[in-house]
Amino acid sequence: TDLWSGATSTTTNTISASVPAHGTVMYRVAGGGTPPPPTGGEIHAVGAGKCLDVPNSSTTGGTQLDIATCTGATNQIFTHTGSNQLTVYSGSQCLDANNNGTTAGTKVIIWPCNGQTNQQWNVNSDGTITGVQSGLCLDVTGAATADGSPIELWTCNGQSNQKWTLS
């Protein structure tokens, strides 16, 4: 709404104005609608050809993640949320750096979502997934390829055991 004339207008994308020296502009910005809900899918370990997996479909907090043959089961369906969490079991559990760990070798576990930074993950364009708190990469321990190989945090090194794709 123009504060002087009372006229209203709408725009999308970029908002701009020509303002004389010492002039002021005031915008009232309304939301652009509801964002689409996050979608879930499998997280594929590129180097192993397997999927990120919660072993034995456990829902117990503290269970360390591993890789396993992709089945599409709920223990392999993860959602990257708008708050950078990677959730499983319809959002009831989050990927978590165990004990707020920030060192190479920290176990990656499931834990009830609590919003802390050890449960926030950047999904990067180079295929890595990095912990917001630690800056370390999600890593298949020892570049293993067998079902049951554990997941940990490790210094990013560009190897295929730190590359992931989300489907």
Tens digit of each residue's pLDDT (9 = 90 or more) over 116-162? 999 999 999 999 999 999 999 999 999 999 999 999 999 999 999 99
Retrieve residue 120's tokens: 């926030």
Q: Which CATH number fits domain 40-166: 1.10.260.40, 2.60.260.20, 2.80.10.50, 2.60.40.10?
A: 2.80.10.50
Retrieve residue 105's tokens: 């070798």
Q: Where are the alpha helices (DSSP H) in the chain?
A: none
Give 86-126 pLDDT, tens digit per residue: 999 999 999 999 999 999 999 999 999 999 999 999 999 99
Instruction: Give the sheet arrangement for strand 40-41, strand by strand.
Output: 40-41, 78-80, 86-88, 93-97, 108-112
Distance CA 54, CA 90 (A): 13
Answer yes or no: are the C-beta atoms of 29 and 148 closer than 8 Å: no
Model pTM score: 0.77
pLDDT at 39 over 80: no
Domain ranges of the chain: 40-166
Question: How far, in Å, are 6, 19, 22, 107 from residue 3 at the CA level?
Answer: 6, 15, 17, 57
Amino acid, res. 30: A
